[in-house]
Amino acid sequence: MCELLIVKSQNSIPMEWVLGYAKLLDEYGLGGFSWGVAWKDTEGELRCYKSVDGIRKDQQASERLKGITSKEIFIHLRRPSLMNSITPFNIQPYLTTDHSLAFGHNGNFEEHESFRSSFLQLLKGTSDSEIAFQYFFQHYKKYNRPVEALEETHRALKGKANMALFRKNEATIIYSGNVDNKMYSFQLDDIKCVSTSVHSHDDFVFQNIFPSAKDIRPIPLFTSLLLE
């Protein structure tokens, strides 16, 4: 029951600008319990900051992220399905050890426990999202087809799933598969954006969070979008 926000531009975007929108998504959505942000630095390397506190309660974020700019930023706002899973190890985005990929998920995978034993040595936390991350990554390493790997992850683990794949030196891929929290692409001036819809089946997200959005397009269910 999380929220996702990805922004991209040809010009550097101040982190503070993105966090302003993220805090509104957190306020009106179902996040509020932990959060994380990944961004690409000037060399294209993936960087990440995470907090077990919700973004509006996080006292360190303003200092730790002060002055950061990036051409592409990915924010995950978490509301766990199981409240006992509020631990640092369950905060997203998940990163590969070489920091070439960051993965985030919104929704609930119905069959995740069927695969837990397969990835037990790789798991640090307890969430269904981390199992999906490992399932995706093993499939991706084998075939090097990220879109197909995201789609296969949803087919195998079932349930409702929006996923975002943030990649070093490659276009971000967004997969839409959660009927309860539809995803939209849109423009804020020259900035390309993708956001979940705060679990609201109307245009609230554009009336109250992104009122200046243009070129609003829903991402069809069970399809992927490359943010280029």
pLDDT tens digits, 47-81? 999 999 999 999 999 899 999 999 999 999 986 66
Each residue of 77-117: pLDDT tens digit?
986 665 555 677 889 999 999 999 999 999 999 999 999 99
pLDDT tens digits, one per residue of 179-201:
999 999 999 999 999 999 999 99
Instruction: Give the whole-number percent of the chain exceeding pLDDT 70.
Output: 96
Whose tokens are 């993220």? That residue is 22
Residues, the chain: 228
Q: What is the amino acid identity at position 27?
A: E
Give the chain's domains with CATH numbers: 3-227 (3.60.20.10)
Report residue 226 as tokens.
């490359």
Structure tokens at 223: 């399809």
Cβ pair 146, 102 in contact under 8 A: no
Per DSSP, the three-state class of 30 is coil
pLDDT band at 9 (very low <50, low <70, confident <90, very high): very high
| Res 16 pLDDT > 80 | yes
- Cβ-based neighbour number of residue 42 at 10 Å: 9
Confidence at 143, pLDDT banded by 50, 70, 90: confident
